[in-house]
């Protein structure tokens, strides 16, 4: 691990105590790693008894002339070191303009180092805008599968259409990843994954469809093995190889309902939790197609970022966990009381919030996409004693910041803001107002919440009290609780959202169908049936 716990604790002892400042400063120094190609101990010839590409390939974070291609060497994926020696291994890569891999556009070699779990992140530049490419890795005669990726249009280009899917919440203990098989058949330009890519729980905690390997994960080795177990899923590999992804995390990549340096579990010291976070963040980087700007610095990692699809769409990928304050009201569903509306509560943190507002002001996109984690719609549930209770882990627990952001969008006349959300294992379509409790006020933005890939098991089409839920929250225009994914198609005039649902995920033979199709027109945030 790049972050050394014992050395840090020794430094803290010399200082007379542990402070967050010391932790971040010490970790940042440790993480000032050189270019990966400078590693000294290299094993140039290595024979593999099994394929070293057991985790597949992926690509991500494309712009108009570059994209990241990724793999990780792991002949024994459930071994903490992936079955690899404590040596760096040269990996060749090439990217071509044809699927037969004949017309080589770029090629090279990069070291897979033990310091980063023998992962390989290559940022391939000098590519043509708005083009499809195919890529492959090889090491000592062993070849990976061929992946497909693409570049985005130039920022000032005017593409006619964009298609993408978004997904979240894929507990392998609770179901099969059937949605990815269907998604791979769609002609998509990219995928957004909105978090809960893995789950941290001990084996058998969530179900028996498949079983997690080992105890609840805490160390770097634990997180590496858990990521590998998920990456071994062939349907997930298939979808990663189809098109580039933009990924962000939610809580389960680290710890359920975590908030900054605060664990959900009681009596966990912030310093101990930050040490765990450093391990989780490193494993996340190692296993995702992210740019080098996201290499962690101890328990800190730059994950919020933006991209564009010409002037058709700009997207801001947010981080709603790393900088947030603790959930109010002990993270128990509560009314919007003084604790919930406290101006000091923050989901994004000051720096990310300011960056988001500036990005929205500067955007040239017809559609402005916020790819983020938890529901922004203020969905209240009736209570016998209290009129409405709200989730404190979702945006209602950060009501002041939520209202400030939506008021900013309204005042600055941000063009067509669309919020994409995961987390809640169900489908929703919401018309967002500054205060959703006031239905007579103008709609400012639109939110599409996507269900889980597998978390929660098969689910159901509607809940028992669905009519009351929607009448109590009239901004909700669609709700469904089956598993699946969401597919979106954009033109200059319209945004179409298809909610794709699985009849079952608890057996591998589930079928995906379109449950509902909704439309938003350019210039109007209201939702209509297609």
Give the length of the chain.
530
Mean pLDDT value across residues 26-44: 52
pLDDT at residue 11 is higher than 70 = no
Predicted confidence (pLDDT) per residue in 317-336, tens digit: 999 999 999 999 999 999 99
424-438 pLDDT tens trace: 999 999 999 999 999
Q: What is the pLDDT of residue 382?
A: 78
Residue 37: pLDDT band by 50, 70, 90 thresholds? very low
pLDDT recorded at residue 503:
98
Angle 352-354-359 from CA coordinates, rounded to 5°: 90
- The CA distance from 253 to 47, in Å, is 33
Domains and CATH numbers, the chain: 5-36 (no CATH), 57-150 (2.60.40.380), 162-529 (3.60.21.70)
The pair of three-digit structure tokens given for residue 380, joined into one six-digit string: 């209240």
- What is the phi/psi pair of residue 142, to 5°? -90, 135
- pLDDT at 9 (0 to 100): 56
**Does residue 222 register a pLDDT over 90?**
yes
- Residues contacting residue 321 through CB under 8 Å, at least 6 positions apart: 249, 250, 251, 254, 258, 259, 260, 373
The span from the CA of 518 to the CA of 485, in Å, is 14
Instruction: With a cut of 60, say whether residue 7 has pLDDT above it.
Output: no
**Tokens describing residue 75:** 């002949």
Query: Quick check: 42 pLDDT over 60?
Result: yes
């Amino acid at each position: 691990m790049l972050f050394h716990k014992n050395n840090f604790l020794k430094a803290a002892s010399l200082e007379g105590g542990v402070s967050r400042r010391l932790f971040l400063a010490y970790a940042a120094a440790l993480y000032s790693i050189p270019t990966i190609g400078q590693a000294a101990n290299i094993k140039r010839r290595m024979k593999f008894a099994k394929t070293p590409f057991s985790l597949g390939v992926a690509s991500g974070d494309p712009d108009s002339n570059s994209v990241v291609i990724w793999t990780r060497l792991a002949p024994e994926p459930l071994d903490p070191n992936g079955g690899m020696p404590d040596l760096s291994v040269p990996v060749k890569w090439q990217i071509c303009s044809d699927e037969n891999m004949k017309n080589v556009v770029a090629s090279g070699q990069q070291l897979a180092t033990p310091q980063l779990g023998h992962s390989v992140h290559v940022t391939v530049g000098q590519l043509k805008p708005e083009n499809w490419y195919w890529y492959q890795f090889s090491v000592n005669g062993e070849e990976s599968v061929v992946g497909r990726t693409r570049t985005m249009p130039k920022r000032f280009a005017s593409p006619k259409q964009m298609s993408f899917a978004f997904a979240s919440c894929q507990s392998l203990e609770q179901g099969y990843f059937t949605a990815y098989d269907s998604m791979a058949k769609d002609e998509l330009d990219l995928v957004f994954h909105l978090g809960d890519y893995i789950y941290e729980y001990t084996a058998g905690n969530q179900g028996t469809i498949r079983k997690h390997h080992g105890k609840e994960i805490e160390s770097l080795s634990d997180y590496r093995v858990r990521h590998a177990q998920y990456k071994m899923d062939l349907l997930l590999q298939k979808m990663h190889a189809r098109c580039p992804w933009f990924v962000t995390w939610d809580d389960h990549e680290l710890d359920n309902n975590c908030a900054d340096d605060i664990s959900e579990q009681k009596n966990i010291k912030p310093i101990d939790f930050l040490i765990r976070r450093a391990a989780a963040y490193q494993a996340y980087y190692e296993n995702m197609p992210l740019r080098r700007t996201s290499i962690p610095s101890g328990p800190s990692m730059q994950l919020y970022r933006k991209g564009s699809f010409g002037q058709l769409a700009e997207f801001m990928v947010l981080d709603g966990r790393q900088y947030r304050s603790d959930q109010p009201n002990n993270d128990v569903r509560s009314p919007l009381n003084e604790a919930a509306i406290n101006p000091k509560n923050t989901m994004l943190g000051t720096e990310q919030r300011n960056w988001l507002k500036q990005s929205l002001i500067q955007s040239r996109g017809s559609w402005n996409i916020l790819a983020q984690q938890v529901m922004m719609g203020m969905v209240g549930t009736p209570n016998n004693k209290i009129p409405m209770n709200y989730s404190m882990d979702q945006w209602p627990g950060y009501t002041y910041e939520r209202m400030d952001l939506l008021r900013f969008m309204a005042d600055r006349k941000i063009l067509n803001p669309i919020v994409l959300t995961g987390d809640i294992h169900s489908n929703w379509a919401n018309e967002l107002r500054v205060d959703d409790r006031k239905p007579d006020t103008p709609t400012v933005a639109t939110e599409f919440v996507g269900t889980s890939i597998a978390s929660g098991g098969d689910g159901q089409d509607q809940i028992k009290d669905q009519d009351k839920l929607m009448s109590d929250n009239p901004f909700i225009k669609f709700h469904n609780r089956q598993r699946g994914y969401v597919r979106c198609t954009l033109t200059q005039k319209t945004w179409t959202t298809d909610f794709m649902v699985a009849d079952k995920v608890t057996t591998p033979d589930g079928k995906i169908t379109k449950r509902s199709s909704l439309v938003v027109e350019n210039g109007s945030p209201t939702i209509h049936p297609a």
